[in-house]
Structure 1
Amino acid sequence: TGTDIARMSRIGVKAMTKAHGLALLDAAHRHGHPHLVAADLNPRVLSGKPAAALPPLLRAFAGGRGSARPTAATAARQSTDWAGKLSALTAEEQHRTLLDLVRTHAAAVLGHAGTDAVRADAPFQDLGFDSLTAVELRNRLSAATGLRLPATFIFRHPTPSAIAEELRTQLCPVGADPSAPLFGELDKLETVIAGHTHDEDTRGRLVARLQSLLWRLDDTASGAGDTDGDAADSEDRDLESASDDELFELIDRELPS
């Protein structure tokens, strides 16, 4: 099927014509070795894959380094990042965001160019999934979210919508502190900043931006407007042009731990 061909292509095995396959079968009959595999391999794809990402029979051809699975640290960072993204959304928006993720990966596994064929409430078996593609989808979602998902995950939650809701439950547990992702980012920044030093000019610029940010936060909390004239306007523009990492770095340097 098209799904099988797409899966084969991803691991470096090309489809063969009937004539090519029959020719290889004839060659095998003339060969003296007892174990032969007729396969048209794609060396470029195989050499770019880590061994763990390939079936055991093809791992000798692997050339990529590293593991196909994320490390514990990477997985934890991914799940924290997702929790942070989702914390600012309503429950419906969270579900919709994760449903888009599930449908995108499901479409890729099935070899579809888009997600239109992956209906939210359609059973995975009706969409064309089997045990192999179900495990591949599980692996993709696990890598994307940082969650450790069981091999039977797709069959326990048999539709894309059900999968999205289960991911939402794990990434946004009921009763979780909505500010936890923010403080998690601050904890990471503390570790990074502790290993760096700053010259006097850089330190002064950071402190100035932090002070401006704190004034802005105080104004927001009290409902007060900006009353500092052109100087405050300039500071606000500095803040607006700063990246999230710069803002968090400023906060981490000056707020008490």
Structure 2
Amino acid sequence: LAAVLAGVGDEDQVAVRASGVFGRRVERVRAGGGEAVWRPRGTVLITGGTGALGARVARWAAAEGAGHVVLVSRRGVEAPGAVGLREELVAAGVRVSVEACDVADRGAVEALLAEYPVDAVVHAAGAVVNVPLAQVSRGDLAEVWAGKVAGAVHLDAVLGDRVLDAFVVFSSIAGVWGSGGQAGYAAANAALDALVQARRARGLVGTSVAWGPWAGAGMAAGAEAVEALRRRGLVALDPQRAVRALGQVVAGADAVVVVADVAWERFAPAYTSMRPSALLTAL
């Protein structure tokens, strides 16, 4: 610790462990080219399943071979678009269940998983609260963490050591390199990354996908937000490319993977304009 405080090169993020001091790097992963791809089968449970991203994943899972898709949200069939999505998937030949469940409630998660013996879980639920760090309240943190972190923790705990094809959590680049006004959201996503690494340490499947912004849907879907991100070098992901990447990432060896469309020549200079950062030096 004393050595770290005295300065370890240009490192601005360090982990001090019994085995040594570690710095963090984002490294490029080459996807495609005949690599293995996860193809959902059996029963796939999707939290946030009636939301914009969850619906995309549900359509993809159905097209890739899932026999039964369980769409979970707090409002269930009362959520906007839920009935239409169910009808669309049923017409495609897939069994669909739409469940109202607050995954922040451990008892509700226990009841849900007792009813559905799942083969895979995709935890896409989440909410963003845009508040400057100095103004973040306990309520703001609770709102962000309830569905995203508590939901993932409960799913992991209730499933225990059950053998699954996949346990996927939707994280965010906010938890990798930060995002202005989203301190609580960044911390929540970093917690998801850690949860997946803990699952891997227990010998279980787990993948955390730190997404960049998606085009046309999701938390950064507004035209002004998309344009502001583009100016900073973050291009909105094409949803079809994103779900294809999901299959590649889950089949891969890494526990935590960033999937983002980044114009590094714009992003990197802005990211390091106030101080140097070793995080991106491997790119």
TM-score band by shorter chain is under 0.3
Larger radius of gyration: 1
TM-score by length of 2: 0.21
Larger fraction in helix: 1
TM-score by length of 1: 0.23
Larger fraction in strand: 2
